[in-house]
Structure 1
């Protein structure tokens, strides 16, 4: 059994799918690990560390593509590359299958068994495989640091000989994993933090971090999906939500937005007129930038200034902490491989909820209920 690890080639991608630590664990189990030369360099894992782990360093990328039984990556290889995979090979990566139906059809037609790390169900048994939570935590942390760096004020209260400076005020929109980490980081930096989420059940988590929960009466309607994500609201409730957000944006120095809906563009939470009403020098960091953004004025990959407000649309936040992001992703990958492999061989047991939901294609069929029912 050969597990291949590619050097990531996507723009702004500095992570690696397997670290030397996890490579060593796989080698101990009798699995061969082929790592492309330089795959870990941008995450500060040089080739010699992989060699010391028992992995083989392979300079020929095509050899890894054509020879691997299991190919593990962060981003999906391009079409010409995954066409080189042998029939029956297994590809495990962030597939984003809901956004890329053509890719799913191609993988099905090529009879590649593709598992989407972004499809890991959010259940307790799968917590050690949950890449989205691992990466969201990093994104929330980094977003808070970016906001602090861009703001032209102190975050904590400062008592000086020249007078007392009050603490900055921050608003975090969305209290999922990324939002909670942003709240915690902003609080540690000394800011006064408020948070909004349409899911009332997260109030306790927000308050446990020392932030104030902004409540909006949205009725009895279910606001959370089975997987724990926020549901999209109807127009009337969206208007109520935006009205509340507008009032709190006006008095915030920092706004961090984290709202995402799986398989859909990010919901617009901050309209242009809200930005107009914010104080000059305020900062918006839009974590949802890659999915269209939660702010109407966000430009992905850029920091723009509108009405005196800095709006940051960051690229691939987890990759900006590439060493720890790679470590977490790699451990999530190892946990999934341990579930998939039985006596060193793949066992696609679709009675297991994790394998059923995570497997996008297998033996020329589309498997995951998320795609079949979508």
Structure 2
């Protein structure tokens, strides 16, 4: 059983799918681990670190990909600078485990099926108690929630905590966090540690206790429709509900020094939570950090991947924020991906058991079959 760790080629991707400590544990289980030369460089793990853990370093990309029974990545496969498609480098019948964004880019599923690859998408790990150790979306979102508050604190021209000094008392910063999922809750906790006064909003009333337990005030809107989707994620709501929600949050946005938005809907453009009118009403010097920038942004003024100043308000639209903390991001991801592999490898042999709910949910292609109905439907409007 040959397991390969690919070097990430996506711009600004600094994570690696396995770290040396995890490699050592897998080698002790009798598995062969192959690591592309330089795969851990941006995560501060050298080739020597991997060799000491028992891995074999492979310099030739084609050899690594074509001989792997299981290939591990962080970012979806893409075209290389030399024109070769990473998908075409995979051995037919092999297994690919990675973030694949199949709902946002369903074409990748068709390409993987054409290559007869069994592909497991880390985004589709179900949110169940049994799957918690494999939930890479949550582990990476926690990192993003933490880092977003640091970005806001660095950009805000004020202190976060209340200070009493000989020169007078400084009031604490007011932080408004929109979305109380994993990223939002970590942002709340981090902002509170820095001494800010924190309010949080979410359309799901069930998160109220979690928000309050972290010391934040929960801003609640009463909606008649169901607001929770499968897996506990926030559900896209009607236009009428969106208008009612915007009316409620407008005052809180206006009065805040920092606004952090985290609302995302898998496979769809992020909902607009902060309109231009709301930004225009904010105090000059205020800061917005939009964690949904990669999906278009929750703020109407967000420029994905850029920091801009709009009407005196600094708007930060980070892309791939977990990658800015590659050491711990890779450590957590490696644990997630290894836990998933334990379901696939029995007695050193690959066994794909679709009777297992986790494997069934995460596997998007097997042989020439696309297994996920939502991806099939998305493909009907996509261009292959």
Deviation per residue, 1:157-196 (Å, 9 max, x gap): 0101111011010000000000000000000000000000
Distance 1:123 1:241 in 2: 29
Distance 2:49 2:132 in 1: 28
**Alignment correspondent of 1:100:** 105
Deviation per residue, 1:47-103 (Å, 9 max, x gap): 111001100011111111111111000012225121121110111100010111211
**Alignment correspondent of 1:262:** 266
Query: Match for 1:216 among 207, 215, 221?
Result: 221
Distance 2:111 2:305 in 1: 29
User: How big is the alpha-carbon RMSD for the aligned residues of Structure 1 and Structure 2?
Assistant: 1.0
Distance 1:305 1:84 in 2: 43
**Alignment correspondent of 1:345:** 349
**Alignment correspondent of 2:381:** none
Query: Match for 1:242 among 231, 239, 246?
Result: 246
Deviation per residue, 1:192-215 (Å, 9 max, x gap): 000000000000000000000001
Query: Match for 2:364 among 357, 360, 365?
Result: 360
**Alignment correspondent of 1:275:** 279
Distance 2:182 2:86 in 1: 33
Query: Match for 1:327 among 324, 327, 331?
Result: 331
**Alignment correspondent of 1:298:** 302
Give the secondary structure class of the aligned counterpart of 2:331.
helix
Structure 1 position 369, deviation (Å): 4.7
**Alignment correspondent of 2:35:** 35
Distance 1:215 1:101 in 2: 35
Distance 2:373 2:139 in 1: 24
Contact persistence 2:104–2:266 (CA under 8 A): no
Structure 1 position 46, deviation (Å): 1.2
**More displaced stretch, 235-244 vs 171-180:** 235-244
Distance 1:24 1:370 in 2: 38
Contact persistence 2:87–2:111 (CA under 8 A): no
Contact persistence 1:260–1:267 (CA under 8 A): yes
Unaligned runs of 5+ in 2: 80-84, 379-384
Find out whether 1:25 has 2:29 as its counterpart: no
Structure 1 residues 198 and 260, CA gap change in structure 2 (3 angstroms): same
Distance 2:320 2:110 in 1: 26
**More displaced stretch, 162-171 vs 362-371:** 362-371
Question: Deviation above 2 Å: which 4+ runs of structure 1?
Answer: 368-374
TM-score of the superposition, structure 2-length normalised? 0.96
Give the secondary structure class of the aligned counterpart of 2:292.
helix
Give the secondary structure class of the aligned counterpart of 2:288.
strand
Aligned 1:6-17 pairs, distance under 5 A: 6-17=6-17
TM-score of the superposition, structure 1-length normalised? 0.98
Contact persistence 1:357–1:370 (CA under 8 A): no
**Alignment correspondent of 1:110:** 115
Structure 1 position 315, deviation (Å): 2.0
Distance 1:306 1:59 in 2: 47
Structure 1 position 216, deviation (Å): 1.1
Aligned 1:114-153 pairs, distance under 5 A: 114-153=119-158
Give the secondary structure class of the aligned counterpart of 1:351.
coil
Find out whether 1:158 has 2:201 as its counterpart: no
